[in-house]
């Protein structure tokens, strides 16, 4: 690992995931004022928002078991894309910030989103995507937010044409620049997972989209591999991206399932998967777990 990697803290935080929303709107155009990872930890002093209206919370109301209560009280990422209500999106962010907490937002609206059509969608043009990113930034305002930028977008870039791939990199770079204008927004560019793209190539892609301007990168957002497995992969990438912090975002699941991307009823939540709940503000000179 490079000396830079040793000098910069790594953050390992197990985010979980829930429903999709989207935002739109505009912010005044100006030269990007980005926040570097070396400027300090934007998560420090904040608690992550727990949605009291989530499906888990509603289920826990009818079944006060300790397991359901644990799930309901675990902070989760709020997924945002091109099909949901801008008003709902803005209200969710505002509610979290008004409670004195930090929302976790997973932005999932990149054009040509999923070449395999497992999660087909995304905005239809670069202009529409930029307008959406502007709207997300406006909804966050000057308040705190943790952003997972475009799960799987860099890992899945191989299936795009050359022009589409270049557009994707440019759009993600635009998102990093725009979202980091707010010093309170911690942006993590998603980097897929350890079994997808070689660490050297993923580091190249992260550098191409400006990860140096972001807080770091995220792993395992839409998959179920263990945090321990992702650590080595994250370290290899971190050593080639200026020692960027790593956010491991494993979904909770029982072990031994063959399908890495399955969700829903066939996925059982292992109690051990929730023993490291999301917790901001815990960076050290090596790494720490929420």
| Model pLDDT for residues 174-230, shown as the tens digit of each residue | 999 999 999 999 999 999 999 999 999 999 999 999 999 999 999 999 888 888 889
pLDDT > 50? residue 106: yes
Residues 6+ away with beta carbon under 8 Å from 232? 194
Distance, in Å, from the CA atom of 78 to the CA atom of 22, rounded to the nearest integer, reads: 10
Distance, in Å, from the CA atom of 207 to the CA atom of 195, rounded to the nearest integer, reads: 20
* 152 carries an active-site annotation: yes
- pLDDT given for residue 286 in this prediction: 30
| Model pLDDT for residues 6-42, shown as the tens digit of each residue | 322 233 333 433 322 222 222 223 333 334 444 567 7
- pLDDT given for residue 224 in this prediction: 82
pLDDT > 90? residue 265: no
Distance, in Å, from the CA atom of 54 to the CA atom of 40, rounded to the nearest integer, reads: 32
| Among 81, 89, 152, 190, the one annotated catalytic | 152
Tokens coding 215: 């807080």
Domains of the chain: 3-289 (3.20.20.40)
| Averaged pLDDT of the chain | 77
- pLDDT given for residue 229 in this prediction: 84
Highest mean pLDDT among 5-14, 37-46, 77-86: 77-86
pTM for the model stands at: 0.78
pLDDT > 70? residue 263: no
Phi, psi of 255 (to 5 degrees): -75, 165
């Amino acid at each position: 690992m490079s000396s830079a990697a040793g000098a910069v803290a790594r953050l390992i935080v197990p985010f979980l995931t829930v429903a999709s929303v989207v935002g739109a709107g505009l912010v005044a155009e100006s030269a990007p004022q980005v926040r570097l990872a070396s400027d300090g930890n934007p998560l420090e002093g904040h608690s992550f928002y727990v949605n009291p209206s989530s499906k888990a919370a509603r289920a826990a109301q009818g079944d006060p078991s300790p397991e359901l209560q644990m799930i309901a009280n675990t902070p989760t990422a709020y997924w945002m894309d091109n099909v949901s209500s801008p008003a709902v999106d803005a209200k969710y962010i505002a509610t979290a910030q008004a409670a004195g907490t930090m929302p976790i937002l997973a932005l999932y609206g990149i054009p040509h989103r999923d070449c395999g059509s497992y999660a087909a969608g995304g905005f239809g043009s670069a202009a529409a995507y930029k307008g959406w990113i502007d709207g997300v930034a406006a909804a966050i305002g000057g308040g705190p937010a943790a952003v997972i930028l475009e799960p799987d977008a860099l890992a899945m870039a191989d299936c795009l044409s050359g022009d589409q791939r270049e557009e994707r990199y440019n759009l993600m770079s635009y998102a990093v620049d725009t979202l980091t204008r707010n010093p309170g927004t911690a942006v993590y560019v998603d980097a897929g997972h350890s079994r997808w793209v070689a660490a050297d190539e993923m580091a190249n892609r992260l550098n191409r989209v400006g990860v140096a301007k972001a807080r770091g990168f995220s792993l395992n957002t839409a998959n179920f591999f263990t945090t321990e497995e992702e650590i080595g992969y994250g370290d290899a990438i971190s050593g080639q991206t200026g020692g960027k912090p790593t956010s491991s975002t494993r979904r909770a699941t029982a072990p031994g399932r063959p399908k890495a991307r399955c969700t829903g009823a066939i996925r059982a939540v292992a109690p051990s998967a929730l023993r490291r709940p999301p917790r901001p503000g815990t960076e050290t000179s090596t790494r720490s777990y929420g």
